[in-house]
Amino acid sequence: MPDRGGGPTGPRIRVGRPSRRVRTLLMTLGVLAVLGMAFTMFAGFWTDWLWYRSVNYSSVFTTTLWTKIGLFFVFGLLMALAVGFNIWLAHRLRPPLSAMSMEQQNLDRYRMGIAPYKKWLLLGITALVGLIAGASASGQWRTWLMWVNGVPFGEKDPQFNLDVSFYAFDLPWYRFLLGFGFAAAILSVIAAALTHYLYGGLRVTSPGARATAAATGHLSVLIGIFVALKAVAYWLDRYGLAVKSSDFRATDNWTGLRYVDANAYLPAKTILFCIAVICALLFFATIWRRTWQLPVIGFGLMVLSAILIGGLYPAIVQKFQVQPNEQAKEAPYVEKNLEATRQAYGIDGTKVTDYSGSSKTEDKTTLRDDVPDTASIRIMDPNIVSPTFQQLQQIRNYYAFPNNLDVDRYPKDGKDQDTVIGLRELNLAGIPKKNWINNHFRYTHGYGVVAAEGTSADSQGRPNFTESDLPSEGDLGTYEQRVYYGEKTTTYSIVGGPQKEIDYSDDNGEKTTSYKGDSGVDLSNPVNRAAYAVAFGEPQILYSGAIGEGSRILYNRTPKERVEAVAPWLTIDGDAYPAVVNGRIQWIVDAYTTTNGYPYSSRTTLGDTTADSLTATNDSRAVVAQQNQVNYIRNSVKATVDAYSGEVKLYQWDTKDPVLKTWMKAFPDTVEPKSDISKDLMDHLRYPQDLFKVQRELLTRYHVKDATTFLSGSEVWQVPDDPTNRSGSAVPPYYLSMKMPDQKAQAFSLTTTFTPNGRDNLSAFMAVDAEAGTGDYGKIRILKLPTNTTVNGPKQVQSQFNSQEDIAESIRLLRGGDSEVEYGNLLTVPLDGGLLYVEPVYVRGGGLKYPLLRKVLVTYGGQTAFENTLDEALNKVFGADGPTTEPPDEGDTTQPPPTSDNPTVQQALEDAQKAFDAGQEALKKNDWEAYGKAQKDLEDALQRAEDAQSEASRSGGAGGGESKPGGKPSSSPSGSPSPKPSS
């Protein structure tokens, strides 16, 4: 209530302005906050620039940045101008006097309220819509660069006779422009209508005309522009039919025109285009006619036509013309889809050959000698033996191997042999003491390559290492062994400064080193240090004494993320693999160019088609896809990442790919010519797995070439689930040196199998020549099994293995105690019309934690063997006698060879027999420590026997026990192998 006199009733409280000190403090805090946000934004930008400059790909950063900035400002400004101009125009066209009505009196208060701020309000609205539009447009930098740099494909679509580049490069940009135009038109109509309403140009409840002539003309033009854009959309939709996806019979991602598209939708779109043009002209005509009667009628007719002509008519054609005779109507369009899909995925050259699936040779013993010539059967599974590498070659806890190793080729005795290879990478989880200095300064790199023969194991089921120990030694010669960049190196390191790094450890203690490469970003500059301290959220980078002159920060260290960063327009294969090339460890990364705008080619989702049992258990094996759904793919780039220097090189692999040529125009001098690939590097390039998986998925349907068979679905295949585990995912493809029936010699190949849709028997075997640099590289061969007979598929073969009583009993014994049986890759090899299946079986358990090769399963022509070695299993299956490259199992009760007259040899063999018996007793008791001691005693005794016999042979004395080829003694006196402990 107001004070009505009487003087003050109490003390008066005066609320004054804050003191100068408080105002100064608040202003200072505000300025610091703004500066902090500004520096945070600057730090992100600056560190990105420094990184791209450090890898010599600064042009990628600048091209991408300026393209985004250009699109942001151009389209942001266009949107702001469009909306702002129409608000200004609507205000300018306002009537001089408003009708005296309650509606207008209410609006007067708003008009008076915003009158002093009209300019600021206009600027605010236009700035907001401009920012939103600019941010959206900047995300279209790929679309812009592909449109402005597009290269012709030299191939034309069968419907409109336009080059494929129109659909791949031009149409996406036109659609973006159209979408931007629609957004600008709609926002302009809304903004103009609100302005007209606020200033009396439009009335809702007031008596008299609902709109002034000026408002009518203004809004009619804007709506006419919208309708004109709709006409353009109808016209572009005609071409969009060639890349339109739909569900159709055998495929859920069918792309291209069908009968109803060509004979109903296409003419409907043309008619609707004409109607929309007429309707737009009617709206424009209201500038003179000042009435909306005709435009509204025209707009209603356009909507009705869209329903009847664009929706109902095609449905009638589909129902009454197509469905009664679908195969005849759709066959011409299916043939176009078949041809385009096979071309777009590079499977048009696939050679399909009939294969009987059963051998015609009656005497199977004659086939035993053909096996080594047909395939170098790999019994070391790279996806299982990583723990074995870890246990035997980790050396220090701060090293580790990837969960899945890789298969490559390296020369041995003048011939290439399949080799399982992995790098001893840095494992920060295993360092003795974790702190910031240890994590980022002391433990910075891995060390060395570890490699093993893929086709053999030693007497205890362990890999036969061809490169091992620390530092690594073996067949690979001299090379830079330090691994600063690898698949497990996911954190940053600061190297090259005053703080020494741990290089490796040996019997003499720790060796230290300091990084000598020029990789990474220099931290001697205080601005750089401050920027990285902010970017990484690590203030110690700013003031730590461990950083000084020469310090460099290494980050983005996994091979795939480095390649993806320098070439953001590529899709990266899920499996990068290491190779020793010209004295350096190089990571080799396969990369793809893709598009989803190839007319008539059916689409596929990369994340789905490249998934298998390996990606199900290891996310790092998944494809790095920028464009997940595609209908064209090429392995156009082979990239390398130096494990020491981090240097990234991109090589043009597919010299004909127009998509790659387009990106090379957009980013010149980033991709090196194919001719720059050295011979040493070429020897290690291979056909990529993810491309192969995409192609095999397409070939489950597109191996047929005639429309009738495709439409019937009778020849649809499927990729079988991996029978060796319970993931329920597809079997992965396997690398294997083998010879297909039409080949004269073995070739490094990537293989897979197919089964009929919904069944488990084998329908086909597929292999691609994976040997880069050869004339047949990339040639896909499919052996198609007859449909009138049943040939066992992988799941049935696995079930057959498990169901045989003697094999099941052996596996049960192997699982004794706490042991665990693991099945390796089930390899399939075509042989004399039949199919040879080979599967290594590993055991882990007891006191050991790593798998050892324990048995080999082999089946051919209905005969199955489960033996200790591959040779024994092959001999049993083919009923042949032959020398074994590995001794039999410890269960073999064969007596030891007769002793020699040489007393030294005799004593050594007696000691060996005692050690063998001791090992058997220890094995029964699961006493792994005693077992290990017995194995060492056994090896020493056999070595003494061999040395004594060699000495006797040189002096002409009597011979004793026999040794294995190459001077290696047999692993037990009885000729049986040392028992393999479960790990």
Write the secondary structure of 24-75 as one string of H (helix), E (strand) and C (coil): HHHHHHHHHHHHHHHHHHHHHHHHHHHHHHHCCCHHHHHHHHHHHHHHHHHH
The tokens describing 936, both together, are 């060492």
Q: Which of 650, 629, 626, 630 is nearest to 640 (CA)?
A: 650
562-to-57, 555, 623, 904 alpha-carbon distances in Å: 11, 9, 14, 61
Instruction: Say if CB 408 and CB 421 are below 8 A apart.
Output: yes
Whether 147 has a pLDDT exceeding 70, the answer reads yes
Beta strand spans in 757-819 (E): 764-769, 780-784
pLDDT of 712: 85
What is the C-alpha separation between 357 and 793, in angstroms, rounded? 11
Beta-bridged to residue 593, according to DSSP, are 634
Between the ranges 134-143, 839-848, 911-920, where is the mean pLDDT highest?
134-143
Q: What is the pLDDT of residues 698-754, one digit of tens each?
A: 999 999 989 988 888 888 999 998 888 777 788 999 999 999 999 999 999 999 999
SS3 771: strand
Buried (b) or exposed (e) across 376-388, using 16+ Cβ within 10 A? bbbbbbbbbbbbb
Whether 890 has a pLDDT exceeding 50, the answer reads no
Q: Side-chain half-sphere of 968: how many Cα atoms within 13 Å? A: 12
What is the C-alpha separation between 568 and 570, in angstroms, rounded? 5
Whether 129 has a pLDDT exceeding 70, the answer reads yes
What is the C-alpha separation between 547 and 495, in angstroms, rounded? 9
Q: Which of 723, 744, 742, 741 is nearest to 732 (CA)?
A: 723
The tokens describing 772, both together, are 């880069």
Whether 947 has a pLDDT exceeding 60, the answer reads yes
Whether 330 has a pLDDT exceeding 80, the answer reads yes
The tokens describing 251, both together, are 């495929």
Question: Would strands 251-255 and 648-652 be described as parallel, antiparallel, or unpaired?
Answer: unpaired
pLDDT of 960: 37
pLDDT of 423: 95
Beta-bridged to residue 823, according to DSSP, are 841
What is the C-alpha separation between 786 and 788, in angstroms, rounded? 6
Across 829-833, average pLDDT: 92
- Among the residue ranges 31-40, 422-431, 858-867, the one predicted with the least confidence is 31-40
Q: What is the pLDDT of residues 451-467, one digit of tens each?
A: 999 999 988 889 999 99
pLDDT range class, residue 145, cuts 50, 70, 90:
very high
Own/partner contacts of 125-131, CB < 8 Å, gap of 24 or more, are 125/83, 125/84, 125/87, 125/191, 126/80, 126/81, 126/83, 126/84, 126/87, 127/80, 129/79, 129/80, 129/83, 129/187, 130/76, 130/77, 130/79, 130/80, 131/76
Beta-bridged to residue 246, according to DSSP, are 254
Angle, helices 213-240/171-198, rounded to nearest 10 degrees: 160
Q: Which residue, chain included where needed, has tokens 């336009």? A: 162
Q: Which residue, chain included where needed, has tokens 């176009």? A: 336
Q: Which of 402, 404, 421 is nearest to 486 (CA)?
A: 402
Q: Side-chain half-sphere of 385: how many Cα atoms within 13 Å? A: 34
The dihedral formed by the CA atoms of 840, 845, 848 and 854, expressed in degrees to the nearest 10 = -20
Across 286-296, average pLDDT: 77
Whether 917 has a pLDDT exceeding 80, the answer reads no
pLDDT of 939: 72
The region, left, alpha or beta by phi > 0 then psi within -120 to 50, assigned to residue 376 is: beta
pLDDT of 883: 46
pLDDT range class, residue 101, cuts 50, 70, 90:
low
Whether 575 has a pLDDT exceeding 70, the answer reads yes
pLDDT of 976: 35
Give kind and range of the element (H or E) at residue 408: strand 406-412
Q: Which of 44, 533, 21, 41 is nearest to 29 (CA)?
A: 21
Instruction: Say if CB 890 and CB 972 are below 8 A apart.
Output: yes
pLDDT of 936: 74
Across 8-30, average pLDDT: 65
Instruction: Say if CB 807 and CB 857 are below 8 A apart.
Output: yes
Q: Side-chain half-sphere of 464: how many Cα atoms within 13 Å? A: 17
pLDDT of 969: 36
Question: Residues 6 or more apart from 502 whose CB is under 8 A from it?
Answer: 442, 443, 444, 510, 511, 512
What is the C-alpha separation between 942 and 947, in angstroms, rounded? 9
Quote the pTM value: 0.83
- Among the residue ranges 651-655, 670-674, 783-787, 959-963, the one predicted with the least confidence is 959-963
pLDDT of 102: 63
What is the C-alpha separation between 842 and 838, in angstroms, rounded? 13
Whether 118 has a pLDDT exceeding 60, the answer reads yes
- Among the residue ranges 12-16, 665-669, 792-796, 833-837, the one predicted with the least confidence is 12-16
Beta-bridged to residue 468, according to DSSP, are 473
Beta strand spans in 719-760 (E): 734-738, 747-756
Instruction: Say if CB 622 and CB 610 are below 8 A apart.
Output: yes
pLDDT of 898: 40
DSSP 456-499: EE-TTS-EEEEEETTTTEETT-S---EESS-TT--S-EEESSSS
The tokens describing 708, both together, are 């009738």
Question: Would strands 827-831 and 852-860 be described as parallel, antiparallel, or unpaired?
Answer: unpaired
Instruction: Say if CB 230 and CB 125 are below 8 A apart.
Output: no
Omega prior to 471 cis, within 30 of 0: yes
Q: Is 937 exposed, middle or buried (0-12, 13-18, 19+ CB in 10 A)?
A: middle
Q: What is the mean pLDDT of the chain?
A: 85
Q: Which residue, chain included where needed, has tokens 């009760």? A: 893
Beta-bridged to residue 572, according to DSSP, are 591, 624
Q: How many CB atoms lie within 10 A of CB 510?
A: 12
With pLDDT > 90 as the criterion, what percentage of the chain qualifies?
54
Q: What is the pLDDT of residues 486-514, one digit of tens each?
A: 999 999 999 998 999 999 887 777 889 99
∠ CA 142-148-153 to the nearest 5 degrees?
A: 90
pLDDT range class, residue 206, cuts 50, 70, 90:
low
Whether 2 has a pLDDT exceeding 50, the answer reads no
Amino acid at 264: A
Whether 778 has a pLDDT exceeding 70, the answer reads yes
- Among the residue ranges 33-37, 71-75, 390-394, 788-792, the one predicted with the least confidence is 33-37
Q: Which of 683, 735, 853 is nearest to 406 (CA)?
A: 735
The tokens describing 489, both together, are 């190196």
Phi (first) and psi of residue 444, to 5 degrees = -125, -15
pLDDT range class, residue 816, cuts 50, 70, 90:
confident
pLDDT of 36: 75
pLDDT of 626: 59
pLDDT of 4: 37
CA 361 to chain centroid:
44
pLDDT range class, residue 887, cuts 50, 70, 90:
very low
pLDDT range class, residue 882, cuts 50, 70, 90:
low
Q: Which of 457, 450, 476 is nearest to 378 (CA)?
A: 457
Q: Which of 126, 232, 245, 130 is nearest to 176 (CA)?
A: 232
∠ CA 191-280-227 to the nearest 5 degrees?
A: 55
Q: Is 833 exposed, middle or buried (0-12, 13-18, 19+ CB in 10 A)?
A: middle
Q: How many CB atoms lie within 10 A of CB 820?
A: 15
Instruction: Say if CB 678 and CB 581 are below 8 A apart.
Output: yes
Question: Would strands 780-784 and 351-354 be described as parallel, antiparallel, or unpaired?
Answer: parallel
